[in-house]
Structure 1
């Protein structure tokens, strides 16, 4: 399958970051007022003002299209420090520990499975240590509080982890549906375009082969579409077995495409001939009746001015030249 990367949630990290920045900015502004004016917690209030200011900065940047991944890291690190500091400074009855329970959800939503797990593990240990060293009253029971906090935190952490695992599996499945041809299991036209964009400036040369099965309509008319589908599957298998590359695509109908990277014109022609002979020498069956196939192949070489449609059109023109010249041949 294509190696293109996709956002790791249905809501993009940029969008989630923007809304999280809004929430953090508003909440820390409220807590800043409460702690500075009502509770006289000057140090904590100053910290919350700094977090609110940075969250406002992140909101401004993301709203104007200047989001950077480090904004999310810095935002959540500052929020995490703020929560841990609140747990350490505030009375337990103030409930600052409750905010720590929301952290796994934010970590997994912004950073994905692996980093979400690492951040969540660090925080549960850090929060437990902060709670343990709290001795604000004689009736305070650190072991009991740590036990309850850890159990609830780990329960939420487990749910977030399971959800993210399932979400990734669903994302990969949808990814395969979007980029894979469901009949032949080759990559499809969308994957071809995505791969071209990824490869375009990464290799010194690139060649495209368009392969068309000769007189395929006659096969469908004579044997039926179920046999035609079987022939397409067998041709796809022949292509995969005749050459060593993962860049093989079904363009649509009876047309296939192969991309070659960092080879010269002579080698591209040799590979095309190898494919043509593999199909010509192969035997395809309709029940007990053998079907002989041939293919016509057009080759284009990527030029600096080529976009995807130009590259494809150039190969297509060579394919039609091969058909005009009698089929079962390669034109470059």
Structure 2
């Protein structure tokens, strides 16, 4: 019973997994919505223009108004999809459902003079809705029943009893195809999204320390280089004595040291702004913070690690919005200051700097 419930509600995934893939799902839905609304808008515009050119505007004026009005509606949907930000990406699915429903309603209106065309349109909509919206199966079933009811209501109003029976059983056949194929397709797509997300997370997260990976660091750095409306800051961290500890006690001891540094940084900073970019190097990419605040936090990290006998070299660089300095340049400044701090540590400790 639980398996059936999971399938109906989440396409075979757990609720947490289903919620986890919604952002990626909605991004693909937006692409689909942009394509559909653009194609439908252009198609209905062309129909209107052709009817005007062949002189049909006067004889089928209401039809042209439907074509033109539908083209405008799809154009508005296209613009709305473009304007939806990633933060509000969850609004895409209702728009996509509206696009499919609008197509069916317009088809019903236009088929008043041609009842035979509606059956084909209804059957096509049944199958298309199953593959376009990428809904949870229970929504797919609800959409299918709704489309069948609309098609049957139209048949009862405009069709003969003989054709009503034929259209009903044809509709049931296409509904079964839509449900079986749509459910299968949805389950496969959901699992593919989940697998892709897990793979991406494995690439974005450093396996040893649980902070951001080198590849995620470069991706985030590129994003922050484009931002100009916030204060920026970078902290470059190097773990002192890792090379010596590895030689003396083995790499397991060195790994424990790196994990401790990452955990200590995560106490003072959000873990999603910490990146391990080398064997013993960490970089923090920050915004909306002050230099004194960062100095205080780094000192807290030093104190915590010092109790375990671990020491770090740190360089801090900050810039206001007026400075027009990119995050990449701030990282370079922080790296330079970290090296100075590291040299000072080795001079005071009498140890040899393994970097030199």
Normalising by the smaller structure, the TM-score range is 0.5 to 0.7
Q: Structure 1 residues 225 and 300, CA, compared in 2 at 3 Å: closer, same or farther? A: same
Equivalent residue for 1:288?
A: none
Worse-superposed segment, 92-101 or 313-322: 92-101
**Superposed displacement of residue 256, structure 1:** 1.2
Q: Please name the residue that 1:263 is paired with.
A: 289
What is the Cα deviation at residue 225 of structure 1?
3.7
Looking at structure 2, the residues matched to 309 and 117 of structure 1 have their Cα atoms a distance apart, in angstroms, of 48
Match of 1:307 among 302, 326, 339: 326
Q: 1:148 to 1:27 in 2, by over 3 A?
A: farther
Counterpart-to-counterpart distance in 1, 2:143 and 2:119: 23
Match of 2:13 in 1: none
1:48-127 aligned at under 5 Å gives the runs 68=82, 78-85=102-109, 89-91=114-116, 95-100=120-125, 101-108=127-134, 113=135, 121-122=142-143, 124-127=145-148
Q: CA deviation at 1:187?
A: 1.0
Give the corresponding residue for 1:170. 195
Determine helix, strand or coil for the equivalent of 1:132.
Answer: helix
Distance 2:261 2:318 in 1: 24
In 2, distance between residues paired with 1:42 and 1:323?
82
Contact 1:280 1:295 in 2 (8 A): no
The separation in 1 between residues aligned to 2:245 and 2:346, in whole angstroms, is 16
1:137/1:152 CA distance change after superposition, 3 Å: same
- Aligned partner of 1:275 in structure 2 is 301
Distance 1:227 1:245 in 2: 25
SS at match of 1:91: helix
Distance of aligned partners of 1:20 and 1:264 in 2 relative to their CA distance in 1, 3 Å threshold = closer
CA separation in 1, counterparts of 2:182 and 2:66? 25
Sort the Cα spacing of 1:159 and 1:52 in 2 relative to 1 into closer, same or farther, 3 A. farther
Change (3 A) 1:69 1:125: farther
TM-score using structure 1 length: 0.68
The number of aligned residues is 301
Q: How far apart in 2 are the matches of 1:19 and 1:133?
A: 25
State whether residues 40 and 74 of structure 2, in contact with CA within 8 Å, keep that contact through their aligned partners in structure 1: no
CA gap of 1:103–1:54, structure 2 versus 1, over 3 A, is farther
**Structure 2 residue matching 1:185: 3-state secondary structure:** coil
1:321 aligned residue (337, 340, 344): 340
Deviation at 1:295, TM superposition (A): 0.8
For 1:95, what is the secondary structure of its paired residue?
A: helix
Indicate whether 1:130 and 2:151 are aligned.
yes
- Structure 1: give runs of 5+ residues left out of the alignment: 283-291
1:296 aligns with 2:284: no
In structure 2, which of residues 220, 245, 252 is the aligned counterpart of residue 219 of structure 1?
A: 245
Contact 2:236 2:335 in 1 (8 A): yes
Bigger CA drift: 8-17 or 184-193? Answer: 8-17
User: Contact conserved, 2:276 with 2:283, CA < 8 A, in 1?
Assistant: yes
2:63–2:110 contact (8 Å) kept in structure 1: no
Query: Which structure shows the bigger proportion of residues in helix conformation?
Result: 2
User: Residues 255 and 156 from structure 1, CA distance in 2 versus in 1: closer, same or farther, beyond 3 angstroms?
Assistant: same
CA 123–148 in structure 1, closer or farther in 2 if over 3 Å, else same: closer
CA deviations over 1:76-99 (Å, ceiling 9, x no partner):
565343444467743279633321
Q: Gaps spanning 5+ residues in structure 2: where?
A: 1-19, 85-91, 349-356
Structure 2 residue 197 is matched with structure 1 residue 183: no
Contact 1:26 1:52 in 2 (8 A): no
User: Given the alignment, which residue of 245, 253, 276 partners 2:279?
Assistant: 253
SS at match of 2:161: coil
Aligned-residue CA RMSD (Å)? 4.8
Deviation string 1:155-185 (CA, Å, 9 cap, x unpaired) is 3432343234223312321331332112222
**Deviations 1:22-68, CA, capped at 9 Å, x for gaps:** 699689979x99xx9xxxx968975896599779989xx99xxxx93
